[in-house]
Amino acid sequence: MRNPLKVIATVGLVLGGVFGIAGTMVSPPLQAILWATDGAGLVMATVLLTIKCFRTGNDVVAGGFLVFAIGEGVLLSSAAADPESGIPSFAAGITLWGTALLLVSVPRLFALPVRIIGIVSAILFIFTAARIFMGEQLLPTSTPLPADAYPFLVATFIGWIWMLWRSDKLDGAQT
């Protein structure tokens, strides 16, 4: 039997990637349903990845996954809100995403390409959040940012899934 943690975390990351991107392409109320599914999947996945990384002694990466889960929870809290009224929660959530992506990507646990994509994603989300905190009214679907940042985030998820299934680094002690 496959490792249930790996299977469930993979399902959560896939739900997050697919439903998150799909939510940017539709209008409310379908958007809210897709983003709620995306958020629940990502919280589930990143909490399980927190446990996995903590157990293997990768505490900074584990902390990053935990911060990501918290950020996703903040985002999930406004998934059903009017897009303009949800901007403060969106800014807070993507700030936590950016922080989390740095915590996961800077240590040398994941393969270098996965880490680079994660860092690029972090920078894009932190830059977007900074613009919102400085007074711009950027919606989750605004272009070029944050819309152009989502493919980098999904590519990071794909890298996490790949490493989860293909690397002994996530099964052994810290390297």
Whether the CB-CB separation of 21 and 140 falls below 8 Å is answered with no
Whether the CB-CB separation of 86 and 105 falls below 8 Å is answered with no
Per-residue pLDDT tens digits for 82-123: 888 899 999 999 999 999 999 999 999 999 999 999 999 999
> Can you give the pTM of this predicted structure?
0.94
Residues 6+ apart with CB under 8 A from 96: 67, 68, 70, 71, 74
Please report the pLDDT score of residue 173 as a whole number: 43
Residue 6 CA neighbour count, 13 Å, CB half: 13
Please report the pLDDT score of residue 172 as a whole number: 63
Residue numbers of the chain with a pLDDT score lower than 50: 173-175
3-class state of residue 16 by DSSP:
helix
